[in-house]
Amino acid sequence: MLKSNCPQCGAPVEFKFSQAVQTTCPYCRSIIVRHDVNLEKVAEMSDIPQDASPIQLTTEGIYNNKAFYVAGRIVYEWHGGGWNEWHLAFQDGTSGWLSDAQAEYAVSFPVKNPVALPPAHNIVRGQNVRIQNIDMTVTTVTKARYAGTEGELPFEYWDKTELTFVDLRSPSSHFATIDYSEDPPLLFHGEMVDFDSLKLRNLRQFEGW
């Protein structure tokens, strides 16, 4: 764990997850990027849009018998609503992502050196794409807006605006997302999950529920 101070406001800032590269100052909301032990303020966070996700930073859970805690998130918005990509910090130092779109949940992991993915302008809904040896079908092509980050992320992710996301599914609930914000695009692969299967703790409480 790295403990330091916010280069903007001097408040204490910590990187709990050893692989974390970026975090947000909980006090002044500066986005702070870590260069070894030196911290740099790279941007100021705008207000994260209000959401109703039951997941929050510090939520803990289990996926595939591996314990994780929620270290950070990226928030996206599109004309059909918004969704969160929660950064899961696993005990073994690896990172995963729990996407929560209107309480439909998927867990995915970054795929290093994926097969060549079709370019963004050349991908349409219904198209079949073979990913990680699984035949998948493009279910949505979403033009989204990056709406902020919170907490610790395993990479720098703050200078985004408009993004194209392609979601793919397979008959066996496999799930993949292609994030076209970088070149080559980022591929995340995983599965749709049941809320109960993640055995989540420290969830957000909703009044009356």
Partner 1 sequence: MAAKAAPPQVRSLTCPNCGGAIELRGMAHTLNAVCVQCLSIIDTKSETLQIVQKFKAKERIQPLIPLGTRGKLHGDPYEVIGFQVRTITVDGTDYSWHEYLLFNPYKGFRYLSFYSGHWNDIKPLKGLPVITESGGRKAVNWLNTTYKHFQNATARTTYVMGEFPYQVRVGDEAAVDDYIAPPYMLSSETIPGEVTWSLGEYKTGADIWKAFNLPGSPPPAVGAYANEPSPHTGSAAKWFSIAVALWTLTFVLLVATALFSSNEKIFSTLYTYSENTPGEHSFVTPIFEVKGRPSNVEIELGTNLHQNWAYFNMALINEQTGQAWDFGREVSYYSGSDWSEGSASDTVRVPSVPAGRYYLRIEPEMDDHPTDFYTTGPRNVTYSVTIRRDVPTYWPFVIAFLLIPVPAIIAVIRSWAFEHVRWQESDYATTSGDSGDDDE
Q: Could you list the residues that contact partner 1 (CB under 8 A)?
A: 14, 26, 49-52, 54, 56-58, 79-81, 102-104, 125-126, 137, 139-141, 150-151, 169-174, 192, 195, 203-207, 209
* CB-neighbour burial class of residue 190 (10 A; exposed 0-12, middle 13-18, buried 19+): buried
**Cβ at position 206, least distance to partner 1 in Å:** 5
**Cβ at position 28, least distance to partner 1 in Å:** 12
Q: How far apart are CA 124 and CA 122, in angstroms?
A: 7
| Residue 111 or 192 with smaller CB distance to partner 1 | 192
| Residue 51 or 67 with smaller CB distance to partner 1 | 51
| Residue 23 or 95 with smaller CB distance to partner 1 | 23
Centre a 10 Å sphere on the Cβ of residue 62 and count the other Cβ atoms it contains: 14
**Cβ at position 189, least distance to partner 1 in Å:** 15
Q: What angle do CA 102, 106, 110 make, to 5 degrees?
A: 130
**Cβ at position 156, least distance to partner 1 in Å:** 20
Q: What percentage of the chain's residues is helix, strand, coil (to nearest 5)? A: 5, 55, 45
Token pair of 12, please?
């204490």
Token pair of 133, please?
């040896």
**Cβ at position 208, least distance to partner 1 in Å:** 9
| Residue 41 or 51 with smaller CB distance to partner 1 | 51
Q: How far apart are CA 22 and CA 150, in angstroms?
A: 9
| Residue 112 or 130 with smaller CB distance to partner 1 | 130
